[in-house]
Amino acid sequence: MSALYVCATPIGNLFDASLRLIETLKNVDLIVAEDTRQTKKLLERYSIQKDIISYNEHNKKQKNSLVLEQILSGKNVALVSDAGTPTISDPGFDLVKSCVQEGIQIIPIPGPCAFIAALSVSGISADRFVFEGFLPREGKMRRRVLRKLANEERTIVFYEAPHRLLKTLNDILKIFGDRRICIAREITKIYEELYRGKISEAISKYEQGVLGEITLIIEGYISS
């Protein structure tokens, strides 16, 4: 029976590719990738040659039916994002949803996820947490979301772009107060960095700017 394989790929270090991921990519008929250029780096590292097409936020409406046709015709298809697990703040949800509606078998190939990796080493409780993905880019909307989370007792996890980090940290400080935070930057990559401390201290540290992919782990609200 043909299937869609939802494959988690390395978030930086290509050695994080699992044996099961490598075997899956070798055995499927087609790979559907967020960015074919990024995925080809992984395929070249493990000497995999496969047909590959792009599937992202810009072309997913056009590509969805094409991919479904391939699976329904009997082909096995792997879905990958640039890094990490598809559908987790990455493209792929619409394709998975369509496959569910068509009764197509969907098989997860688990592996790396940036926010899980960051949370595990943050030093902030991971027993109960809420993952909010990316905050809104526009300041007014961002602050609205943060105000709704101000009394959330679970650990709160966000992704953030480096050029918005300082504005986001200032908004969090004003709305949440000076809580403990872990800022994970470039997880699994050469310049991996973990900052642990108070939000106000993080603002001072990063006031000159920062580069790389960022995950924020913030202590939940503690009632007095």
Residues 154-163 have a mean pLDDT of 97
C-beta of residue 107 within 8 angstroms of C-beta of residue 6: yes
Q: Given strand 193-198, what is the order of strands in its sheet?
A: 129-134, 155-160, 214-218, 180-185, 193-198
Distance, in Å, from the CA atom of 220 to the CA atom of 124, rounded to the nearest integer, reads 9
pLDDT of res. 1: 81
pLDDT of res. 61: 86
| CATH class of the 114-218 domain in this structure | alpha beta
Q: Tell the CATH topology of 3-109.
A: Cobalt-precorrin-4 Transmethylase; domain 1 (3.40.1010)
Where residue 90 falls among pLDDT bands split at 50, 70, 90? confident
For the cut 80, the answer to whether the pLDDT of residue 88 exceeds it is yes
Domains 3-109 and 114-218 in one fold: no
Residues 109-120 have a mean pLDDT of 96
pLDDT of res. 198: 98
Chain segment 36-86, per-residue pLDDT in tens = 999 999 999 999 999 999 998 889 888 999 999 999 999 999 999 999 999
pLDDT of res. 17: 97
Domain ranges of the chain: 3-109, 114-218
With pLDDT > 70 as the criterion, what percentage of the chain qualifies?
Answer: 100
Where residue 33 falls among pLDDT bands split at 50, 70, 90? very high
Distance, in Å, from the CA atom of 155 to the CA atom of 43, rounded to the nearest integer, reads 36
Where residue 3 falls among pLDDT bands split at 50, 70, 90? very high
pLDDT of res. 60: 85
CB atoms within 10 A of CB 50: 15
Chain segment 6-26, per-residue pLDDT in tens = 999 999 999 999 999 999 999
Q: Is the pTM of this model over 0.95?
A: no
For the cut 90, the answer to whether the pLDDT of residue 223 exceeds it is no
